[in-house]
Amino acid sequence: MTTAAIKQIRGTDKADLIVAGNTLYSYYVGALQAIQRIAAEESGAAGFASLKFYGGGTSADVVLGGGYGSQETATYMYFLNTNYLFLRPHKERNFVPIGGERQSINQDAIVKLYGWAGNLTTSNSFLQGLLTGS
């Protein structure tokens, strides 16, 4: 992981989020359990939604991107620099109503459909990384 993190550093730019598949996340958690320390009671009570990676002159949150039924490859770890990731909605489909109101026949409710379309884009692919394992 340290080697992959070092490859993503350019000046002050670095990966700040690591999204890991099931297998690599399990390996990372297993490697940390022998040295696990709870610095704040709130962190321990929260169930450790994310872990921290410190290495290669950088720190990044490590989160599980997999889980049961996930589409993420279990042996992939994505090193993301979120400063260069953007969610770009379509100008005509940014949570706009579609059609009219719809009423159910078996309940006292009115439903209105809303649509969204867009892309997740990057402006600097060079600073995004991928680590594969077995």
pLDDT per position as a tens digit, 119-131 = 999 998 999 999 9
- Amino acid identity of residue 59, one-letter, is S
What is the spatial distance between Cα 75 and Cα 10, in angstroms, rounded to a whole number?
A: 26
Q: Which residues contact 52 (CB under 8 A, 6 or more apart)?
A: 59, 60, 61, 62
Q: Give the DSSP letter of residue 37.
A: -
Residue 115's pLDDT is 94
Judged against a pLDDT cut of 90, whether residue 57 lies above it is answered with: no
Reported as a pLDDT band with limits 50, 70 and 90, residue 7 is confident
What is the spatial distance between Cα 47 and Cα 53, in angstroms, rounded to a whole number?
A: 17
Q: How far is CA 114 from the centre of its chain?
A: 25
Judged against a pLDDT cut of 80, whether residue 34 lies above it is answered with: no
Q: How many CA atoms lie within 13 A of 55 on its CB side?
A: 14
Residue 45's pLDDT is 54
> For the chain, which residues make up each domain, given as ranges?
2-85+123-132
**What pTM was computed for the model?**
0.75
Residue 72's pLDDT is 81
Question: Token pair of 82, please?
Answer: 């979120």
Judged against a pLDDT cut of 80, whether residue 13 lies above it is answered with: yes
Nearest CA-CA partner of 130 in 81, 76, 86: 76
Report residue 121: phi and psi, to 5°.
Answer: -125, 165
What is the spatial distance between Cα 68 and Cα 92, in angstroms, rounded to a whole number?
A: 35
